[in-house]
Structure 1
Amino acid sequence: MNSLERSKVYEQVVGKVSRRFETYGYSKVRTPAFEAYDLYSGIDSSIPRREMIKVIDPTGDVLVLRPDVTIPITKELSHVYGRLTSERRYYYIQEVFRQTGTDLSPIEHTQAGIEFFGCRSPEADAETIALAVRTLKDLQFEEIKIEIGYPALLDSMIQQMNMDKRQNMQLRQLILSKNLAELQGLLREAKIDRQLAAAVETITQVYGRPDLVAAEMASLGVNSFMDGIVEYILEVCRLLEIYDCKEEIILDFSLLNNMDYYSGLIFQGYVEGLGRPVVMGGRYDKLSEAFAADLPAIGFAIEIEPIVESIASTMTAVPDSRSICIFYSDAELEEAIVLAEQFREQHYRVVTSPLQNQEKNDSYAYTVLLQQEGNVILTNEESHRYLTVAEVGMFFEREA
């Protein structure tokens, strides 16, 4: 599939994502392409400063090309409201820019995401995760897995260990990779309390269905803080069953923050054919505190490019169901123009072309032949013959 055809897939994906977000009450917003460097350098996030694309404006101030969307939306809402008395739902589809990996890595990536402000509850978390699942289903993915975690649980345990910076970083890497053998060695080396070490080892290996994971977690009996988190997550999972998302949900309490501003539940989504997450999300109730506000929030972002590549590599060309090509003889040029304009007002996608150019064209759902011996409509299933242009118009009014 060439780049032009891939662009069509991109627009289809973006259209489906937008429509799904809007069914959940989200309104589209845009953030500036350039923001002050201080906005990102002064916020805890996982965006390394070396990855930001920096420029100098005419006044000498340092700007960055948008590396994130959640932070500027939160800043704007914080300055407007300070504290919300009602919910606010926004979505975006726009580019973020980061210089990652090798010099050949693309710096521009399209993200589609939602930000749900003003509600801190299992209901809000379940609805947000359900929206992520629905969106991926709209894109025709059949194998969808959403991993849910709660990093604050492991963070609280790690803080109790009083490890040095090197050990702390190594511990987190071993947890993320689920490397139990080296993890046990590190915990012994650091002389961590046996019960605490056993709990971390177990949490690192617990992964699967909510009921089974909850049973494993209950057996640890570490503290009431852990019990409260498990109860919260199980309530989110119970609500997700009502959304008919039970089969897509996996619990993994070894998940750690991929963005430092996440402060509660986090999740990531996988689909068939792609070995890395295409959805990343979580709760970031404390991010607004950096702007002197109190705005509890949860959101997620979908990486559009890998989804487009996956769909483009497997899809077969399917004509737009509201597309028409009108072929006309010289005598019917005027009628072709009038008819095309009529269909366009009904929101059909229409092109016109001389009759001698007629060929089988799978990119249109309907082909109209305007010729002296009668007007013919061809579809994939059947052919219709009409005597007048008015009757052709009536056909498409019925189809609409």
Structure 2
Amino acid sequence: MQSFSTIRLKDGATDYVGQSAERLQRVIRQLEDGLEQSNYTRLITPLIEEVGGREQIRMDFTTSVARALSERGREQYKRVFYSGSVFQPEEKFQVGFEERGVIAEVEAIQLGVRLIEELTGKEVTLSIGDAGLIEHLIETRVGDHHLRDQVTQMLRLRNVIELKRIARELDDALLAKLPLLFGREGAEQILPYVDETRLNAVIDLADAVNADLDFGQMGLQTYYDGVTIHGFIEGVTEPVLVGGRYDRLYEQFGQEQQAFGIGFSVERLAEVL
């Protein structure tokens, strides 16, 4: 018989058994049921995909969803949801939903909030930013391409110390302030450097869903090019809801699409059950 004694748990992966497994399954089932009842279609993508000619374990659902929905003959699927594992590099369980075409951002955000509050009994606090708005601001102030990418990445990571260093190097005080621009005061500080109509649209969306404005919030994923949204609940330090707009992502698959999605952190939600 073949020997199986060398099987080991992959670095970053976790076994769940007993109550911990039950809590995870409760989160997954309730979120899936809520999305099915809200008329989203289930989409299952493979755990292993080919990236640049090499096999790779799925690291992100949104890119897999965009690839899958860009296949010919799938134009009718405008509202889908997914459920499964990603490795970033730790294994994480995610449930999420995505829309393309005509996007109802307010309704989608409200759905995400409602599902979490029904599951946990805790109020969700939201923060909203706009990755594309701030990217354009950075482009107008940082000429060097590599340095511009560095500023953007440091802002995604909220690395205030490194941003201050770059700001001193460029003699640009606004760059150092970007991670700390909140609310209407933050909007006033960036208003002279961004499109006013787009800025007002972000403010209106935040008002519509009762969210805080956070102009340093770009989202960790580089495909976000519009509104970004994070949701928090008491007792959990990390966001339990993350999402936003990523219209440009579909261009990489040969399509012009408006696209918006929200993902839920299953492990973080299970912590409070």
Residue of structure 2 equivalent to 1:217: 187
> Does the Cα contact within 8 Å between 2:42 and 2:81 map onto a contact in 1?
yes
Structure 1 equivalent of residue 97 of structure 2: 114
Q: CA 1:219 to 1:307, structure 2 compared with 1: closer, same or farther past 3 Å?
A: closer
Q: Which residue of 1 aligns with 2:132?
A: 152
> Which letter maps to 2:19?
E
Q: Does 1:20 align with 2:24?
A: no
Q: 1:19 to 1:288 in 2, by over 3 A?
A: same
What's the CA shift for 1:77? 1.6
Q: How far, CA to CA, are the matches of 2:86 and 2:248 in structure 1?
A: 23
Say which of 66, 75, 94 aligns to 2:84.
94
Contact residue 101 and residue 259 of structure 2 kept, 8 A? yes
Scaled by the length of structure 1, what TM-score is found?
0.57
Structure 1 residues without counterparts, runs of 5 or longer: 39-60, 101-106, 208-212, 241-245, 312-400
Displacement of 1:254 in angstroms is: 0.8
Q: Does 1:236 align with 2:205?
A: yes
The equivalences for 1:1-400 within 5 A come to 3-38=17-52, 62-80=54-72, 88-98=78-88, 100=89, 107-120=90-103, 124-160=104-140, 161-163=142-144, 165=146, 169=150, 172-173=153-154, 176-177=157-158, 179=160, 183=163, 186-192=166-172, 197-198=173-174, 200-207=175-182, 213-214=183-184, 216-218=186-188, 220-223=190-193, 225-240=194-209, 246=210, 249-311=211-273
Return the letter of the residue paired with 1:205.
Answer: L
Query: Is the CA contact 2:130–2:226 (under 8 Å) kept in the aligned structure 1?
Result: yes
Q: Residue 90 of structure 1: CA displacement?
A: 0.4
Using the alignment, how far apart are the partners of 1:68 and 1:156 within structure 2?
25
Q: Name the SS of the counterpart of 1:310 in structure 2.
A: coil
- Asked if the contact 1:176/1:255 (under 8 Å) is kept, the reply is no
Q: Quick one: distance in 1 between partners of 2:201 and 2:271?
A: 36
> SS where residue 36 of structure 1 aligns?
strand
Q: Deviations over 1:183-207 (max 9, x none)?
A: 5554242134xxxx44x45543222
Q: 1:276 aligns to what SS in structure 2?
A: coil
Equivalent residue letter for 2:93: T
Identity %: 24
SS at match of 1:3: coil
In 2, Cα distance between equivalents of 1:299 and 1:171: 22
1:329-387 Cα shifts (integer Å, max 9, x gaps) = xxxxxxxxxxxxxxxxxxxxxxxxxxxxxxxxxxxxxxxxxxxxxxxxxxxxxxxxxxx
State the distance in 2 between where 1:216 and 1:109 align: 33
Higher-Rg structure is 1
Deviations 1:290-321 (A, max 9, x none): 1111121100211212222332xxxxxxxxxx
CA distance in 2, matches of 1:238, 1:142: 21
Task: Give the conservation status (yes or no) of the 8 Å contact 1:78–1:295.
Answer: no
Q: How big is the shift at 1:166?
A: 5.1
Question: How many Å separate the matches in 1 of 2:25 and 2:57?
Answer: 23
Q: How many residues align?
A: 257
Go from structure 1 to structure 2 and tell me whether the alpha carbon gap of 1:220 and 1:115 turns closer, same or farther (over 3 Å shift): closer
TM-score by length of 2: 0.82
Deviation for aligned residue 1:131: 1.7
Higher relative contact order (CA 8 A, sep 6+): 2
CA separation of 1:220 and 1:268: change in aligned 2, threshold 3 A: closer
> Runs in 1 of length 4+ with deviation above 6 angstroms?
none
Name the Cα RMSD after superposition.
Answer: 2.8
Distance 1:185 1:69 in 2: 34
Q: Check the 8 A contact 1:36/1:63 in 2, yes or no.
A: yes
Instruction: Check 1:285–1:183 CA distance in 2 against 1; reply closer, same or farther (3 A cut).
Output: closer
Q: Tell whether the 8 Å contact from 2:206 to 2:213 is kept in structure 1 after alignment.
A: no
- CA–CA distance in structure 1, aligned partners of residues 208 and 20 of structure 2: 37
Q: What CA deviation, in whole Å up to 9, does each residue of 1:191-246 have, x standing for no partner?
A: 34xxxx44x45543222xxxxx23542365414x4312221112213432xxxxx2
Q: What residue identity is the alignment partner of 2:167?
A: L
C-alpha separation in 2, matches of 1:216 and 1:170:
18
